[in-house]
Structure 1
Amino acid sequence: MAVSTSKFNTFTFFKLPSAWWCGVRLKYMDEKKAIVTVKHKWFNQNPFKSMFWAVQGMAAELATGAMMIDQIRNSGKKISMLVQNNKANFSKKATGKITFTCEDGHLIKAALDRTIATGEGQTIWMESVGINEDGVVVSTFDFEWTVRLKK
């Protein structure tokens, strides 16, 4: 069962305060998909009056990581998670409300099952796509997550 978005957003206030203060919010999550929004504002902009790339990265990562956190919690096991690599592409100036969607949650369970069964670390790549209010892709992030059973 997925954690509620309001509880997860409270979690970000305490554990990811820079993301929370920049306006990053989880809007929807189930086992396969997560949606995170962030709005361009004065305090999260770059000198070119668009959203700073790192703010987009926080929102994009949360769309992947929220599902990872939830599925690890549901496994009942102590499993560490860490971003090992990431790639990003910026295709349009990010202004207004940007919505990041990740639909790769289905990849997580297999990686968790393998690390639990073998004790060896596993990696998966997950994609998060950011679109503006006009439905135009502004950025695409790919994150390589590693998971490992804690000893």
Structure 2
Amino acid sequence: MLLALLAQELVAAQIADPLVGVWVLDVSASTSTGGMPSASTLTITPSGSETLRFEIRDTFDGRPQQPWGFVAGRSGSETPVTPATFIDSVATTRRQRRSSALILKKGGVAVSEMSTEVSEDGLTLVVTSKATAPNGDTVSGTSVYRRQPS
């Protein structure tokens, strides 16, 4: 029992930022008015003292997509997305310790707004989004991710 408590304290100390970790999409708890991946893994790692690296690996209809990602600051400044496909930049603003706001852009035009919230226990990440599809339709959704053990 004591060993388990010490292990929990060690993990908590290593995760200074509640966003840092490997998160897997809980498809059954997620909703979308448009398409949604059949699987998704979001890996967030520290990248300097004030930035985080986001890597997204999605699978649609059993077909893994090319991973994409970005390094996000906390002040709303734009950073490039690589590889640039459906978006080419993102601006991230940290609202509180467990929440952020993101604006995803293509060609300088905002195409999606997202907000993230990590649960108080640190085990669930909820991403709400509102986007404009290429055909002009508005698409919205809530993606629920579960933290994976490290």
Normalising by structure 1, we get a TM-score of: 0.35
The answer to which structure has the higher strand fraction is 2
Normalising by structure 2, we get a TM-score of: 0.36
The answer to which structure has the higher helix fraction is 1
